[in-house]
Amino acid sequence: MSRSVPTFALLAALAAGASCQEARQDAVVAPAPGRDVVATAEPGTPAGASTPAAAAAATAAPEKAHDDPPGLHNFKRWSDHISQGAQPDPETGFASLQALGFKTVLTVDGSRPDVETAKHYGLKYVHVPVGYDGITADEQARIIKAVGDSDGPVYVHCHHGLHRGPAAAAIAREGVEGVSNEEANAGLKETCSPDYTGLYRDVLAFQAPSAATLAALPELPEAIRPAGLRAAMVAVDMHWDLMKACKEAGWDVPADHPDVVPMHEATILKEALREVGRLDEGKAKGDDFLAQLARAETAATKLETVLRGTDTAAATAAFAEVKASCAACHSTYRDKD
């Protein structure tokens, strides 16, 4: 496979007096699935152009070599063409990607990407959702096509930028840039937990798809609506992240999510876990899966009850029970093949 990889300059210096926190003051809160909150530009701003606040954030480079660009977390550049990280923050993250010269954003997360904000900053989204248990041959081919066909640098991300995104970036490095399986696997180890054995397996066993396979792929979509068990688990992950934000806020309303009430969020998390067990796909996983799911739901119910009061220590203990229940289930049914 051949392609032209344009070079681009990394932002060289931090704008005087600017910081990541200051840059985020003008960011729009990320919309949760099912909530019709759309990031908008300042009135009169043409598509693809930065707003003054976002432009200021985007032109600020990290103070130190290991710092993330504004609005981008767990950022890692592998080459002039391939970088990885977490889901970009609204406005700030996409402004940074635009300023850094990226042209395509490839997400392997299950949730719908923020296509509208990306387009505002002149970025093309490609959505190839993958699981924690591995990356299929078809998904690998789609990742390679998305990265290989891009007319400029590609930013690969999942939700947190630690496991699925880095694995997809490793596949892209192997299939597009010819990096060896061993080198790509070593790079994956920088962020990905060894518990995700399916991801490591597929990076190590990678074999490049044929030109005919890539040519036969249809046009890759910018967004895929999750369905079934995957959609249900996306909802669980989203509400769990909001619960973590509540915990970090001392079991109060998080400053960046003023619409989130801890007790109510625990209720929604409980219902999201219950919904997984109602699905035919969930039931098909067997009694042990359903039992583990029930334990997580019971722990979430306990957290909901505790949060009706003011005992923050008890809330933290109940939160730990939910976390432990989910981790146990993940280790059996999500992280491995």
Residue 84 pairs in a beta bridge with 76, 156
DSSP, collapsed to helix, strand or coil, labels residue 279 as coil
Contact 202, 143 (CB under 8 A): no
User: What pLDDT score does 276 carry?
Assistant: 86
Q: Each residue's pLDDT tens digit in the chain (337 positions)?
A: 433 333 333 333 323 333 333 333 333 223 333 322 223 333 333 333 333 333 333 333 333 345 899 999 999 999 999 999 999 999 999 999 999 999 999 999 888 899 999 999 999 999 999 888 789 999 999 999 999 999 999 999 998 999 999 999 999 999 999 999 999 999 999 999 887 888 999 999 999 999 999 999 999 999 988 778 877 888 888 889 999 999 999 999 999 889 888 988 898 888 889 878 877 888 888 999 999 999 999 999 999 999 999 999 999 999 999 999 888 888 887 655 4
State how far the Cα of 114 lies from the Cα of 184, in Å rounded to an integer.
28
User: What pLDDT score does 225 carry?
Assistant: 81
Separation of CA 116 from chain center: 17
User: What pLDDT score does 66 carry?
Assistant: 57
State how far the Cα of 137 lies from the Cα of 134, in Å rounded to an integer.
10
DSSP, collapsed to helix, strand or coil, labels residue 131 as strand
Q: Looking at residue 126, what DSSP letter applies?
A: E
User: What pLDDT score does 132 carry?
Assistant: 80
Residue 157 pairs in a beta bridge with 85, 107
In whole angstroms, how far apart are CA 21 and each of 57, 69, 185, 228? 10, 11, 34, 37
User: What pLDDT score does 131 carry?
Assistant: 82
User: What pLDDT score does 336 carry?
Assistant: 54
State how far the Cα of 259 lies from the Cα of 275, in Å rounded to an integer.
23
246, 313, 320, 305: which is closest to 270 by C-alpha?
305
User: What pLDDT score does 52 carry?
Assistant: 34
User: What pLDDT score does 124 carry?
Assistant: 98
In whole angstroms, how far apart are CA 3 and each of 35, 79, 151, 213, 252? 39, 14, 8, 17, 51
160, 155, 207, 158: which is closest to 181 by C-alpha?
207
* Tally of residues, the chain: 337
Q: Which backbone phi and psi does 15 adopt, to 5 degrees? A: -60, 140
**Domains of the chain and CATH, by start:** 20-216 (3.90.190.10), 228-333 (1.20.120)
